[in-house]
Chain A
Amino acid sequence: MASPLQQFEIKTIAAANIGGVNVSFTNSSLFMVIAITAITAFLLLGVRKRALVPGRLQSMAELMYEFVAGLVRDNVGSAGRAYFPFIFSLFMFILFCNTIGLIPYTFTVTSHIIVTFALAIVVFIGVTIVGIAKHGMKWFSYFFPPGAPIYMAPLLVPIEVLSYLARPVTLALRLFANMMAGHTMLKVFAGFVIALGVAGVAPLAILIALYMLELIVAVLQAFVFAILTCLYLHDALHLH
């Protein structure tokens, strides 16, 4: 029986090497391209008719827009308007990678720590740059909670710095671990279904329930990633 981890293997489709860097087109690359194509097609086809009374597809496209716009407005404020396209892209990318990955025989881009970590580090560095650009040196006051007695500084500042630095790690790990664990579990139960023969209906039922759960997790993790990005952005723009 194939290992439950086999599904995470990166397979090269077209090998390429530029300046000593391996830029091969892999199954991971393929599903990234599929995801962005699907997102773009979904949105553009949705608003193609520009109907006053939206149809199903247009309603969904508008719903996505208004959902993320509301997320940014509620969690970042009006100053977050400029970052809306980034957060929208981030949310849609993770959402589509997660959900497309649930289709059998596909590959889940977000089940690789390097991908989630890259997204998280972009958010982390971007938010830090936004904070420093907006507040200058005053931004460092973020590491000392206002109202705390000054003699607590030696204790509080390292804690705050540590928790700030932990942000990209937790952000990346949360998404990666959820995706990987879910897919591994699905595969393990799928293996039971085959191995048990007729009695496999029991693990099959569990498999279906797990699949539902994984669908929720796929959507929820995209939402969590987006809302945490919004909260970090709020901290950077408003400090505390």
Chain B
Amino acid sequence: MPQLDVASYAPQLVWLVISFVLLYVLMARVALPRIADVLEERSRRREDNLAKAEELEKEAEDVSAAYETALAEARTRAQAALAKAQDAAKTSAEAKVAELDKALHARTREAEAAIARARESALGEAAAIAADVARMAAQKVAGLVVDEASARAAADAARKARA
């Protein structure tokens, strides 16, 4: 059995030590750091990408939130503007109504005054006519000459008594 040939042990051991030490040095110093580097870089890249994706997602959320805020603000502002416009319209409408009311009142009063004046003058004329009629009637019926002033007074008194 060649494995038991003691003379072959020395060269085998010598070359085993040489090649294994060389292999160890090559692995520990060159090959393994390189592979570790590649693996590390990959995991770093992966984490980087994940972080970036998270960042972008957050940014998108921020933008969406800002959009919502702006929308809500715009809506509030629009509502405020609408309310203000409505208020203003109401106020101006009320003012106009009041003004119109006032004008109408004034004209009503004017008309009433005109009517009163017309009535006054109509009543005055009627009284003069009544006095004349009474004076002429007294002259014709009783042959009494009644002066204008007393006829007027009598007519007035008669009207007042009837009223």
Main secondary structure of the interface of B (DSSP, over half): helix
Q: Say whether B5 contacts A22, CB under 8 Å.
A: no
Query: How many angstroms from the CA of A114 to the CA of B16 in the assembled complex?
Result: 10
Does B86 count as interface, using CB distance less than 8 angstroms?
A: no
Chain A min CB distance to B128 (Å): 125
Name which residue of chain A comes closest to B17, CB basis: A118
Does A218 count as interface, using CB distance less than 8 angstroms?
A: no
Does B45 count as interface, using CB distance less than 8 angstroms?
A: yes
Report which of A25, A51, A115, A176 forms a contact with B16, defined as CB distance below 8 A.
A115
For this complex, into which size category does the number of interface residues on chain A fall?
Answer: 35 or more
Q: Say whether A8 contacts B13, CB under 8 Å.
A: no
Q: Say whether B11 contacts A50, CB under 8 Å.
A: no
Name which residue of chain B comes closest to A86, CB basis: B24
Query: How many angstroms from the CA of A157 to the CA of B1 in the assembled complex?
Result: 37
Main secondary structure of the interface of A (DSSP, over half): helix
Does B19 count as interface, using CB distance less than 8 angstroms?
A: yes
Does A234 count as interface, using CB distance less than 8 angstroms?
A: no
Q: Could you list 17 A-B pairs, sorted by A, with CB under 8 Å?
A: A8-B1, A8-B2, A10-B11, A21-B10, A23-B14, A32-B15, A32-B19, A44-B34, A50-B34, A62-B35, A62-B39, A93-B20, A93-B23, A109-B16, A112-B12, A114-B9, A114-B13
Q: A23-B14, A32-B16, A32-B18 are in contact. List 14 more A-B contacts (CB 8 A).
A: A8-B1, A8-B2, A22-B7, A22-B10, A24-B11, A26-B8, A40-B23, A40-B31, A50-B38, A62-B35, A65-B36, A86-B24, A86-B28, A115-B12
Q: Which 9 A-B pairs have the closest CB atoms?
A: A29-B15, A85-B28, A32-B19, A43-B31, A10-B8, A36-B23, A8-B2, A65-B35, A22-B10
